[in-house]
Amino acid sequence: MSGSLLIDGSEKQAVIDVFDNQGGVLFAHGSDQRRNNIFQTKLFEDEFASVTGGYCAVVSSGTAALKVALKSLQLEKNRKKIIIQPFNFIAMAEVVYDMSLSIVWSKSDASLSMDPNWLESYLKENINEVGAVCVTSMLGSVPDLINLKKICDKHGIPLLLDACESFGARLLEKDLSYYATVACYSFDFGKTITAGEGGAIISSDSKIISYCRSYRDHGHALLPNLPRNLDSASCVGFNYRITELQAAILRVQLKKLPIILERYKERYSLLKSKLLSGGFPSDSIRRTIDESIELGDNLFLCNLDSNLNNRIINLLVENNHGIKNVPNALNWHDAYFWLHLDGGIRQDPNVIENHELLSKSVSINIDITRSIADYDKLASLICNLIFLE
């Protein structure tokens, strides 16, 4: 949670401006004269795309972004298998089931992201059945996107990136969406920037984004110089639009991105470096990809024995430091618990292996409103636990 912590009068003023300067038009289309030709949704799409690169379509949530993005790939009917990773937010799996497709659970690598070596091996044997590879950048991490992209390109399989938890992360100085066929972001209350809800789809392929813009709007072709009532349909669609109020808030939040990322970096870097210099084992901090910059909204500790894991959790609680989803929200982030989706899910070896890795992990929340000194102290307290082992 970051952008929500910096909400102030500027977001409130942006909402008031929609009424004062835009005639109170809350819908993203039409009423050009009344709204003084101000279109907040379009402005935000352009501004967000200028940060990420590519083209942008905004929708009502990160989950909606995932569904519309997967729909935009227009998969062949015989390619029903979608590869996703078991360390995930449940939304990706819900989208796959909602579209009557089937899930293949990937093996996890040392960073708990999708294992490229496993992916290469699986595609060699099952290439004709796979529709898409959907990799998730969990908790601000950067998956091995360069190798995953190479493999997907080699086999002609689209790569969908769920970056809902990672807006602001970079790889080789590029936004993570650069490496995917299509990528998705979320603006719910716990994300880097927020309007309470909302999502964005990014792609370098303008045809994909054109489809997304139509699908989110009941299939409207969005033909220029035509009123909406005379517009035709370009596809079967649905309603995943956002309002002008959300877009206005997001435009303000986006301007706060540099300070959000800087505050993350200061606290994350200090905590990590102090742990390592204090004797904390390097293999117990989640592996990062070379030339990558993680979001930094948490420090993910792994490969911990149960005693140390529990002591770290108790220490965090005692010192009022937050835990970010692992282990306190694993019901929603570990496929092992999703029996309501698939009663046989606990028979999958990749799901079981991933669950065992997560059971030895804890994610320390980075709060950008807390002082750097707090994280210096926290590092010392954690290192002291090691010497008490």
38-64 confidence digits (pLDDT tens): 999 999 999 999 999 999 999 999 999
**pLDDT digit string (tens) for 135-192?**
999 999 999 999 999 999 999 999 999 999 999 999 999 999 999 999 999 999 999 9
Contacts 24+ apart (CB under 8 A), 21-26: 22/244, 25/244, 26/243, 26/244, 26/245
Q: Are strands 159-162 and 298-301 parallel, antiparallel or unpaired?
A: unpaired
Measured in whole angstroms, the distance separating CA 362 from the mean position of its chain's CA atoms is: 19
CA 161 to chain CA mean position, Å: 8
Q: Does residue 389 carry a pLDDT above 80? A: no
Instruction: Tell me the C-alpha distance between 367 and 137, whole Å.
Output: 20
State the chain's mean pLDDT as an integer. 97
C-alpha to C-alpha distances, 19 to 13, 24, 38, 360, nearest whole angstrom: 10, 4, 11, 51
pLDDT tens digits, one per residue of 98-117: 999 999 999 999 889 999 99
Furthest-apart CA atoms within the chain: distance in Å = 73
Give the DSSP per-residue string, 26-86. Answer: -SSSS-TTTTTT--HHHHHHHHHHHHH-SEEEEES-HHHHHHHHHHHT---TT--EEEE-S
The distance of Cα 371 from the centroid of its chain, to the nearest Å, equals 26
Of the candidates 374, 385, 276, 360, the residue with the CA atom closest to the CA atom of residue 321: 374
pLDDT of residue 1: 64
Cβ-based neighbours of 203, under 8 Å, separated by 6 or more: 54, 55, 69, 72, 177, 180, 181, 182, 183, 209, 212
388 pLDDT band, cuts 50/70/90, is low
CATH 3.90.1150.10 fits 258-387, yes or no: yes
Domain boundaries, the chain: 3-256, 258-387
249 has a pLDDT exceeding 90 = yes
% pLDDT > 70, the chain: 99
pLDDT at 268: 98
Residue 1: CB partners within 8 Å, gap ≥ 6? 189, 190, 191, 297, 365, 367
Cα(315)–Cα(109) distance, integer angstroms: 28
Contacts of 280 (CB under 8 A, 6+ apart): 382, 383, 386
The predicted model gives 119-138 an average pLDDT of 97
Helices (H), the chain: 9-20, 40-52, 62-72, 90-98, 116-126, 145-155, 206-215, 244-255, 257-277, 306-318, 349-358, 372-387
pLDDT at 387 over 80: no
Is residue 160 within a helix (H) or strand (E), and if so which, with residue range? strand 159-162
CATH 3.90.580.10 fits 3-256, yes or no: no
- pLDDT category at 2 given cuts 50, 70, 90 is confident
Angle of helix 372-387 versus helix 306-318 axis, rounded to 10: 150
Q: Model confidence over 206-230: pLDDT tens digits?
A: 999 999 999 999 999 999 888 899 9
- Burial call 271-290: b when 16+ CB within 10 Å, e when fewer: bbebbeeeebeeebbbeebe
